[in-house]
Structure 1
Amino acid sequence: MPIDPTVAVGAQLPDRTFSWSESDVLLYHLAIGATDLHWTLETAGLQVLPSFGVVAPTFHETDPPPLDLPGCDIDLAQVVHGAQEVRVAGPLPTSGAATLRTRITDVWDKGRAAVIWQEGVATDAAGQQLWTVRSSIFVRGEGGWGGDRGGSSPVEVRDRAPDSDTTYDVTPQQALLYRLCGDRNPLHADPAFARAAGFPAPILHGLCSWGIALRTLTEDLLDGDAAAVGGFAARFAGVLFPGETLRVRGWHEDDRVVADATVAGGERDGAPVLADCVLVRQG
């Protein structure tokens, strides 16, 4: 079968050594709609949003993302991002180098689809851990072998007015700009490829929506202090198209913020984009 969990689960992927510069950080922040100078000017106390750690290893890639995962014979057109989490050991440096070591931790059988989970740890040259990433991809048409369906941990948003409620107008060019952060999947730029994958038009990168949400919550509820973010996780619950508006709501809850993100306005008003969102405070 195209996915063999006995081969995939536990498999180590090739280590990836990479570096990044202030220019990479500035471009990433612009791609997720940042405008404040502490995100966009290297002489103004430049901060690094923790979500940058997810894109840093592949930031300079110019080919579509490869899917050469052990035990997984799948096609890019079958794949959508399922969930993403990042945990940081401390504030990320504005430039540096690291090695990412990644393994496949789980393969779930959802009947008509499979879910593949990966976990990676980024360390510097001295072996100091910088951040951890965990992500899943949803592979349509590859389930049904009778395997473990996996679990879920839904995050309930509070039954009260949110502590922040912000909208961001996604530009028609947003996905084209975000492609320069290393994700050249044609699903986000090529209309014909998007139609073949079952979408009426190219969709915004899920990680772009994810980054916009984290930036918004950090600005609204943590005084714009990236160092206050210990981690961020969310499930990709729906798509967002360039030109639409993203609404991000957040609620303070003990040492974390719970949130959601939906489409605001238009024919798809209220459609989910991100769910099970949790921002963990540092410390």
Structure 2
Amino acid sequence: MATNERTVASVDPDVALAYRFPEVSFAYDERCVRTSAPRRTCSRRLRAPCRDVALYALGVGACGADAVDDKELHLVHHRDSQRHIKVLPTFVSLFPNKNSNGRGIVNVPGIHFDESLLLHGQQYIEIYKPIPSCASVVNKVKVAGLHDKGKATILEIETTTSLKDSGEVLCMNRSTIFLRGAGGFSDSSRPYSYTTYPANQISRISIPNSAPSAVHEDQTQQSQALLYRLSGDYNPLHSDPMVAQIAGFTRPILHGLCTLGFAARAVIKSFCNGDPAAVRNIFGRFLLHVYPGETLVTEMWVDGQRVQYQTKAKERDRAVLSGYVLLKHIPSSL
């Protein structure tokens, strides 16, 4: 919080669940530019890179180790006859930010909490069709879960995104938020719990004891969080040293969803030959913070169409993220 006063935490589940969120419309688009090249080499307008999706790809490390990486250049550049650059599936994890004007927190009537005690616990994404490089879309938002855990409240926000013109559904995000200090609003003998889906079915993760099927290593940049935040998450925890210190960190930390983007990229590069359209679902559980500049090591295990993963901060040898990516097909090469 910006002030020294802390918000008095309180939860009224009836008010929260009765609230109907307004629809949120927004667009991300592809821009065209005029070229100054001689007419013999270019006689028409050139399509510039899709700025929003290309900036996101760079923010989660695409081409970070090799600017001409054969499996990632198509994420930031129109290669050969490629009409549009391809879009990483985790790009859609940015869409819920539009619900809160880049603050990363959705205001839900009936739920009051100290923002400095908020933790992003999990993210679940379903992809229903390949994400276009430019589109006008609409978010529909609802409370998908609300649970009293005594010392904390778990709030689950579901965002379904559709194409504005056709109404065709593109994807769904379900964000799990831990509100520390906001629990204890129900009878302790019968704690309040509301959910619209079988949570255990989504979040069940078991890291195998066997050797991983593949391991991918990425060196994040000291400026990684500053680059990633340009995609729309402006929480000062990731840029302001004073805010980070107040929150208990020695310096600004990397966005959890940025780390998720790195992990999904590792899976796509390792098992999908760099094709982002091969992904159906993504789940990530945030375990520990990452400091920009640390090395992310993602270990992956293949089980049919499901790739389970665990990402570690190499310098500290600590697991920071775990989850799975469900592919449309069983990987053809391991």
Calculate the TM-score normalised by the size of structure 2: 0.78
Tell me what 1:3 maps to: 11
In 1, Cα distance between equivalents of 2:179 and 2:146: 10
In 2, Cα distance between equivalents of 1:119 and 1:57: 9
Is 2:251 aligned against 1:212? no
The answer (yes or no) to whether the contact 2:113–2:181 under 8 Å persists in 1 is no
Identity value in percent: 34
- In the comparison of the two structures, how many residue pairs are matched? 279
The answer (yes or no) to whether the contact 1:91–1:227 under 8 Å persists in 2 is yes
The answer (yes or no) to whether the contact 2:97–2:103 under 8 Å persists in 1 is no
CA change 1:198–1:205 in 2 (3 A) is same
- Two-structure CA RMSD over aligned residues (Å): 2.1
Is 2:137 aligned against 1:109? no
In the TM superposition, residue 256 of structure 1 has moved relative to its aligned partner by 1.2
**Mean Cα displacement is larger for which, 117-126 or 104-113?**
104-113
Q: Could you say what secondary structure the match of 1:175 adopts?
A: helix
The answer (yes or no) to whether the contact 1:9–1:106 under 8 Å persists in 2 is no
Tell me what 2:27 maps to: 19
In the TM superposition, residue 196 of structure 1 has moved relative to its aligned partner by 1.6
In 2, Cα distance between equivalents of 1:59 and 1:12: 16
Tell me what 1:139 maps to: 179
CA change 1:183–1:110 in 2 (3 A) is same
In 2, Cα distance between equivalents of 1:59 and 1:120: 10
In 2, Cα distance between equivalents of 1:97 and 1:47: 17
Is 2:90 aligned against 1:90? no
User: 1:109-258 alignment to 2 at 5 Å?
Assistant: 109-124=148-163, 125-145=165-185, 146=188, 147-148=191-192, 152=200, 153-258=203-308
**Mean Cα displacement is larger for which, 45-54 or 203-212?**
45-54
In 2, Cα distance between equivalents of 1:185 and 1:281: 31
Q: Aligned letter for 1:28?
A: Y
Unaligned runs of 5+ in 2: 1-8, 30-49, 64-71, 330-334
CA change 1:43–1:58 in 2 (3 A) is farther
In 2, Cα distance between equivalents of 1:67 and 1:189: 20
Q: Residue 80 of structure 1: which of 108, 119, 133 is its match? A: 119
Task: Say which one has the larger Rg.
Answer: 2
CA change 1:196–1:31 in 2 (3 A) is same
The answer (yes or no) to whether the contact 1:122–1:129 under 8 Å persists in 2 is yes
The answer (yes or no) to whether the contact 1:12–1:104 under 8 Å persists in 2 is no
Q: Residue 73 of structure 2: which of 33, 37, 42 is its match? A: 37
In 1, Cα distance between equivalents of 2:328 and 2:222: 34
Q: Could you say what secondary structure the match of 1:180 adopts?
A: helix
Tell me what 1:260 maps to: 310
In 2, Cα distance between equivalents of 1:162 and 1:47: 28
Calculate the TM-score normalised by the size of structure 1: 0.92
Q: What do residues 242-281 of structure 1 show as CA deviations (whole Å, max 9, x unaligned)?
A: 111111111111121111111112xx21x12112x11111
In the TM superposition, residue 65 of structure 1 has moved relative to its aligned partner by 3.4
In the TM superposition, residue 10 of structure 1 has moved relative to its aligned partner by 5.6
Unaligned runs of 5+ in 1: none
In 2, Cα distance between equivalents of 1:12 and 1:274: 32
Q: What do residues 22-77 of structure 1 show as CA deviations (whole Å, max 9, x unaligned)?
A: 21000000000001211110345321111111214647987533442121112321
CA change 1:38–1:60 in 2 (3 A) is farther
Q: Aligned letter for 1:274?
A: L
Tell me what 1:68 maps to: 107
Q: Aligned letter for 2:168?
A: Q
Q: What do residues 149-177 of structure 1 show as CA deviations (whole Å, max 9, x unaligned)?
A: 68644311222111111111111100011
In 2, Cα distance between equivalents of 1:95 and 1:60: 19
In 2, Cα distance between equivalents of 1:71 and 1:130: 30
